[in-house]
Structure 1
């Protein structure tokens, strides 16, 4: 008769539980897999499938019971590592959306906001356009597959089950948050520059001819020039976003190395 002991159950559970937590942590925060359009059951099923695939290639797990203080500490650590990997890529999406916010506000479309089911809040129409563009580029560049590859490689560079986690990794994640403001300004710079010149021209016109109605002339002019600048600058955003995604993958590798450093 085949008898299964409590020790064997704990070993089997530890073999799959901790890798599952790291994978699930990334899927909960990743900008594509965490979409509200993807049901939670699909994400959980994908996490279970990836866990079953990668577990045979992983190094041996530590002999620590899952239901123990050390086991809970390892579980929290694996969740934090997965969340950090997905959060860094989410910063790139936030930067592109912020570029849309900056462009929309300068164009005078601050009132043109719609409900965004992804963020569960009202966002500007231009920001939603940039968000859709970012998702399409992310899928076209196989960014979702790239994130899965980075996650699986992290399990070899940063073995699953170790209690130690260097705080330098969290410091790098916090410092990389500056990419939101830097990249947002760079992506929206053509629109901002065109509208700055337009506003200066309108100011000179109203100074020379005070009888001109600024609101009747300025708003349609800034709106039209803003849309034209956005239209002609969109093709040039694609290589910039490609470089931004590539740079983010390198940053994720540095963060994993920082986590694994003693």
Structure 2
């Protein structure tokens, strides 16, 4: 007669639940999988499927009951690791959106907003356009598959154990947030630089001809120059996004290594 003991049930539950929490945490914050166009049912089903596929490849689970203080702490750690992996990828998209905010502000399109289903809020049209372009490039460069590979590889870099996460990994993630402003400025610099030159030229024109209506001439001129600069910059986005994805994977490997010290 086939019998199953309580210990075996707890081992099977741990073998599935803890990897599921890490994978599901990544799906909750990843810029593609966390989109509102992907329902929660699909995310949960994908996390269950990945957990079932990954479970046989993992190291032996800690001999800790899932429903215990230590077991709950392990589950929280796994969820936190997944959230950190997805949030790091989200920072890349935030930098691009910041570049769109800065460019739109200088172009005079900061008031032109549209509903963004990914954020469920009104977003400046230039920022939304660059965010959609980045998302398409992210998918074209298999960034969504890279994130799955990273979270699967993380089980070998940060094994499931009762050991608490090292603070060094959390510090690296906090420092990574500072790069959003640097990358946002670098991405918007061509458009902002062209508009700065255009503003200086308009200032000289109004100084030489005071009767010139700066509002009637300046706004369409800045808008046209800004759109032209944005059009010229777009061909350089694919290699830059490819570089950002490579930099993202290198940082995630560094962060995961720091979490398990």
Q: TM-score, normalised by structure 2?
A: 0.98
Partner of 1:84: 84
Aligned length: 261
CA distance in 1, matches of 2:190, 2:76: 44
Q: Does 1:256 align with 2:256?
A: yes
Q: Map 1:222-233 to 2 at 5 A.
A: 222-233=222-233
Counterpart contact for 2:70–2:162, Cα < 8 Å? no
| 3-state secondary structure, aligned to 1:144 | helix
Counterpart contact for 1:77–1:163, Cα < 8 Å? no
Partner of 1:39: 39
Deviation (angstroms), 1:191: 0.3
* Residues 198-233 of structure 1: CA deviation (Å, up to 9, x unaligned): 000001111111111010000000000000000001
CA distance in 1, matches of 2:237, 2:45: 35
Partner of 1:163: 163
Partner of 1:105: 105
CA distance in 2, matches of 1:197, 1:44: 51
CA distance in 2, matches of 1:162, 1:202: 64
| 3-state secondary structure, aligned to 1:61 | coil
Partner of 1:10: 10
CA distance in 2, matches of 1:159, 1:251: 18
| 3-state secondary structure, aligned to 2:166 | coil
Deviation (angstroms), 1:244: 1.3
CA distance in 1, matches of 2:36, 2:163: 32
Deviation (angstroms), 1:160: 1.6
Counterpart contact for 2:54–2:152, Cα < 8 Å? yes
Q: Does 1:68 align with 2:76?
A: no
Q: Does 1:115 align with 2:119?
A: no
Counterpart contact for 1:18–1:161, Cα < 8 Å? no
Deviation (angstroms), 1:178: 1.5
Partner of 1:50: 50
In structure 1, runs of 5+ residues without a counterpart are: none
In structure 2, runs of 5+ residues without a counterpart are: none
Q: Does 1:182 align with 2:182?
A: yes
Deviation (angstroms), 1:5: 2.3
Deviation (angstroms), 1:157: 1.2
CA distance in 1, matches of 2:239, 2:14: 43
Q: Map 1:188-207 to 2 at 5 A.
A: 188-207=188-207
Partner of 1:138: 138
**Runs of 4+ displaced beyond 3 Å:** none
| 3-state secondary structure, aligned to 1:110 | coil
Deviation (angstroms), 1:72: 0.7
Deviation (angstroms), 1:88: 0.4
Deviation (angstroms), 1:111: 1.0
Partner of 1:220: 220
CA RMSD of aligned residues (A): 0.8
* Residues 154-205 of structure 1: CA deviation (Å, up to 9, x unaligned): 1011112333210100100000011211111111111000000000000111
CA distance in 2, matches of 1:249, 1:8: 37
Counterpart contact for 1:70–1:163, Cα < 8 Å? no
Partner of 2:148: 148
